[in-house]
Chains A and B, each alone.
Chain A
Amino acid sequence: MLRLASLPLAALALLLASCSPRDRTRTEDGRTIVTLWTSWAGTERAGIDAVVEDFNGSQSEIFVRTLNITDPQTKIMLATAGGNPPDIAIMNNQFIAPYAENNALTPLDGLCSTADITPERFVETFWETATYRGRTWAIPLTCSVTTLHYNKKIFREVGYDRPPETLEELERINDLITQKRDDGSISRIGHFPLEPGWWRPEWSNWLGLGSYDGQDRMLFLDSGWQKAAAWLASYHQRFGKDELIKLRSGFGRFSSPQNPFFDGKVAMVLQGIWMNRFIETFAPDDFEYGCAPFPASQDAGIPYYAIADVDQAVIPKGADHVPEAFAFMRYLIEQGGLEKLALAHGKLTSLKAVSPDFYDKHDHPYLQVHLDIANSGYAKARPQLAQYQNYFTDVNEAANSLLYGLVTPAEGLAQLQERQQKALDKKQLRWSRVEESYQALWQKQIDETIE
């Protein structure tokens, strides 16, 4: 009887023993281990590995250990909720607001001020993405801005030797480039807003106004989205819904030679600075492309618009080694270290200062175009919304439906406004309930780090 009873107990003991924490905080030579979670893989992982190796080599106190994760937003959230987060996590700028508003990050204002890390050192557009609700939550690392990538050969075919200067001109070129087969199906299109479609919720910015006023109102019924919806709907009106669906169903995967931009099915795409890497790897040898600012509508009051994307380093709430983690982050944004990382990623750095060496070593043929756009004031990050993922999924789907004519612009925008305003109101209500306590808590944390 006793022997029988001891079996489950032994199993339980074994289970508990295997779950008990080992000493994972120090290396054998006594250095504090700082864990870093990132979704960077391949050459991007190699870039951070090289910087980490330099740092570890220069250190007798800290040892940074990098771990690759997929779906970082969810994993970091679950690890933080479970009380076992990494010391540093790399995340995209659009997730700073949801994490900060859920009290899942460590405010860095105190640490930054003691380390003399000031906003003046950074490109304003990139630095802004690291702040939310009046606090600093992240250190911006490698960055990019979107530009128009166009196929020069196809442009020459239709008599153009320069990129379009307005969205209206882009659409005229689009009509010239688009070709149909005898059966009416499209064999080539000039521009297609769903390819690659990574920034679908932001199209209204090119027509004058974004989706969020930054305070308490979503703007889907305002002029920007009214024009954007009409512009998106013009695609099924001009080219046909079934023809567009059929065309898109034949697009290959992004990182493959069948990418529709590489194989000439789409002549113009909105893309980031990393695209050059993929062009070098997957496009045909004789592929000729150009980069230019993606032009805005002539009525928008701006010459062009670009979306700034930033990889951020954050310290999740509950991290074990905050000072050590920040020491590594401080090293990361020294000009040499950050430029080394940016070169490996084929991107820009968040710093204002650019060394001559960076220009020499960066292999992007249109680096200056990207740098100019980043500093122009026309590059903006995606909206800081606590419900960002909800916004992204919902507007993505609405943009598809508008483009294919599955809903009318009036109907689609009214529904979108109702859903998104409700989602925003819900978050605002939640924030109003917790604001006072969170602000007090954050101030206390900041004061502690200054002391």
Chain B
Amino acid sequence: MTRTQRTNTIKGLLFISPWILGFLAFALYPLVATLYFSFTDYSVLAPPVPIGTENYAELAQDSNFMKAVFNTVFFAALSVPLNTALACFLAILLNFNVLGKSFFRTAFFLPSLVPMVCLGVIWRWLLNGEVGLINQAIGPFADFANALLGTHFDTPAWLEDPAFTKLGLVVASVWGLGHAMVIFLAGLQEAPVELYEAAELDGAGFWGKLAHVTLPMVSPYILFNMIMGFIAAFQVFAVPFVMMDGVNEPPGGPGGSMLFAATYIYLKAFQDWEMGYACAMALIFFVLVVTLTITLMKLSERRVYYAGK
């Protein structure tokens, strides 16, 4: 290494040193500490006592953990594809040159700026079984269907009925699709006009262009939004926690139907003071998210089109 190369290396390292320090202190150290604590009995207040794989053995038989895994996967499987599809659809609509385009783009993006806790409080009211706006809106349809078909449809108790709590949360999660929509919009604007012109010359209509030009061109954005969506869905915490707090329910909601991975990790770590157990759970979810991300990347290799390749 020449003197200049050495100086450049040192300069380069110095420039990225804040990131390196941040990574070591706030990512690597917590990860290694989590791994260590997961093999201990650690209450935070007292020093950790090594207990081997006891935490993992207990997790394998913990019905609440299984419930939390099921709820989290259920929520992610419903909300991520729904939100991605809706965000893509909205972006396509907002990509048309119509009057007030900027206003609509801002209007659809704005809700995603609402802080999570506020979102929880707002949706607690919107989903209230008796006076909530959602039920007020769907009530007349239920009445109409009942009158027409002689059925007995009733508006759901979104926050109290275990069959509906997660669906309520999926509905609430739609508010956060603004970010994905903006990313799709950016992707749509990158699609070359000549491809659409060529498709038109070949006789493609709106649906033809959508299927054969638009979707392939935004496929990297779909993949990105899906991965980010799944990571966020696996971390869902604030909104269900706040929503349940307002209805005087245990944090896991009625019948444990709102017990998500992050909620259970929080409860174990900070309410039950079983930090070691919580660390074991956090690691398992970390591995789950990494596996899912890699699987998505592998599965999408043949379906995602990168213009630069």
Contact A5 B14 (CB under 8 A): yes
* Separation of A434 and B129 alpha carbons in the complex (Å): 49
Q: Which residues of B contact A245 (CB under 8 A)?
A: 129, 157, 160-161, 254
A397 within 8 A of B: yes
Contact B130 A415 (CB under 8 A): no
B250 within 8 A of A: yes
A406/B255 contact (C-beta < 8 A), A102-B46, A396-B250, A397-B250 known: yes
Q: Which of B34-59 contact A (CB under 8 A)?
A: 41, 43-46, 49, 58
Q: Which of A232-274 contact B (CB under 8 A)?
A: 242, 245-246, 248-250, 253-254
A117 within 8 A of B: no
Contact B130 A250 (CB under 8 A): yes
A74/B271 contact (C-beta < 8 A), A8-B18, A104-B45, A434-B46 known: yes
Query: How many residues of B are in contact with the other chain, CB < 8 A?
Result: 40
Q: Which residues of B contact A433 (CB under 8 A)?
A: 49
A4 within 8 A of B: yes
Contact A81 B44 (CB under 8 A): yes
| Interface mask (B245-276 → A, CB under 8 Å = 1, otherwise 0) | 01111111011100000000001001111100
A249/B273 contact (C-beta < 8 A), A103-B46, A393-B250 known: no
Q: Which residues of A contact B274 (CB under 8 A)?
A: 390
* Separation of A335 and B181 alpha carbons in the complex (Å): 65
| Interface mask (B1-41 → A, CB under 8 Å = 1, otherwise 0) | 00000000001001001100000000000000000000001
Contact B273 A102 (CB under 8 A): yes
Q: How far is the CB of A160 from chain B (nearest CB, A)?
A: 28
Q: Which of A81, A389, A397 contacts B255 (CB 8 A)?
A: A397
B214 within 8 A of A: no
Q: How far is the CB of B268 from chain A (nearest CB, A)?
A: 8
A415/B248 contact (C-beta < 8 A), A389-B271, A397-B255 known: no
Q: Which of B17, B162, B256, B271 contacts A390 (CB 8 A)?
A: B271
A417 within 8 A of B: no
Range class of the A interface residue count: 35 or more
Contact B160 A401 (CB under 8 A): no
What residue in chain A is nearest B131 (Cβ atoms)? A250
Contact A397 B252 (CB under 8 A): yes
Q: Which residues of A contact B158 (CB under 8 A)?
A: 249
Contact A1 B11 (CB under 8 A): yes
A180 within 8 A of B: no
What residue in chain B is nearest A73 (Cβ atoms)? B271
Q: How far is the CB of B137 from chain A (nearest CB, A)?
A: 16
Q: Which of A81, A196, A404 contacts B254 (CB 8 A)?
A: A404
Contact A390 B272 (CB under 8 A): yes
Contact B129 A246 (CB under 8 A): yes
Most B CB within 10 A of own CB, among A248, A387, A434? A248
A172 within 8 A of B: no
Ordered nearest first, which 7 A-B pairs have the shortest CB separation?
A249-B129, A250-B130, A102-B45, A249-B157, A389-B271, A390-B272, A396-B250
Known: A81-B44, A393-B271. 17 other contacts (CB 8 A): A8-B17, A77-B45, A99-B45, A102-B43, A102-B45, A103-B46, A194-B248, A242-B161, A248-B129, A248-B157, A250-B128, A250-B131, A389-B271, A393-B250, A406-B254, A415-B63, A419-B64
| 19 A–B pairs (Cβ distance < 8 Å), ordered by A | A73-B271, A77-B44, A80-B45, A194-B248, A242-B161, A245-B129, A389-B267, A389-B273, A390-B274, A393-B252, A394-B64, A396-B250, A397-B254, A400-B249, A400-B250, A404-B254, A419-B64, A433-B49, A434-B46
Residues of chain A whose beta carbon lies under 8 Å from any beta carbon of chain B? 1, 4-5, 8, 73-74, 77-78, 80-81, 98-99, 102-104, 194, 196-197, 242, 245-246, 248-250, 253-254, 387, 389-390, 393-394, 396-397, 400-401, 404, 406, 415, 419, 422, 430, 433-434
